[in-house]
Amino acid sequence: MPKINKERALITAKHIVIYSHGVAVQKDDNGLFTDIAGAIPEVESILFDYYQVNESGDKIFVCPFSTQIKKLNQVINDIKIANPDAVIDLICHSQGTIVAAMAKPEGIRKTIFLSPVFDMSLQRTLDRYRAKVGTSINLDGISEIPSSNGLTKVIPKEYWQERLLIKPFYEYNQFAGKTEIIAIEANQDQLLPRVDLAELDPRIKVIALDGNHNFDYPNRSKLIETIKILLLS
pLDDT tens-digit map of 81-108: 999 999 999 999 999 999 999 999 999 9
Tens of pLDDT, residues 110-168: 999 999 999 999 999 999 999 989 999 999 999 999 988 889 999 999 999 999 999 99
Inter-residue contact 154 to 80 (CB < 8 Å):
no
146 prior amide bond cis, ω within 30: no
R_g over Cα of the chain? 18
12 falls in which pLDDT band (50, 70, 90)? low
13 falls in which pLDDT band (50, 70, 90)? confident
Q: Quick one: pLDDT at residue 4? A: 38
The phi-psi region of residue 174 (left if phi > 0; otherwise alpha if psi is between -120 and 50; otherwise beta) is alpha
CA distance linking residue 58 with residue 120, whole number of Å: 27
Tens of pLDDT, residues 175-212: 999 999 999 999 999 999 999 999 999 999 999 999 99
Name the 3-class secondary structure at 60. strand
Inter-residue contact 75 to 2 (CB < 8 Å):
no
- Residue 19, pLDDT above cutoff 50: yes
Tens of pLDDT, residues 40-96: 999 999 999 999 999 988 999 999 999 999 999 999 999 999 999 999 999 999 999
Residues forming beta bridges with residue 77, ordered by sequence position:
none
Q: In this structure, are strands 15-20 and 52-53 parallel, antiparallel, or unpaired?
A: unpaired
Domains of the chain: 13-51+69-118+167-232 (3.40.50.1820)
Residues forming beta bridges with residue 203, ordered by sequence position:
none
Amino acid code (one letter) for 212: N
- For residue 189, what is the enclosing H or E element? none
Q: Quick one: pLDDT at residue 147? A: 87
CA distance linking residue 51 with residue 121, whole number of Å: 22
pTM confidence score = 0.93
Tens of pLDDT, residues 105-122: 999 999 999 999 999 999
Angle at 17 between CA 149 and CA 202, to 5 degrees: 95
5 falls in which pLDDT band (50, 70, 90)? very low
Q: Quick one: pLDDT at residue 1? A: 36
- Average pLDDT score over the chain: 94
| CB-count burial class (<10 Å; 0-12, 13-18, 19+) for 141 | exposed
CA distance linking residue 72 with residue 86, whole number of Å: 17
CA distance linking residue 107 with residue 220, whole number of Å: 29
CA distance linking residue 98 with residue 229, whole number of Å: 24
Q: Quick one: pLDDT at residue 233? A: 78
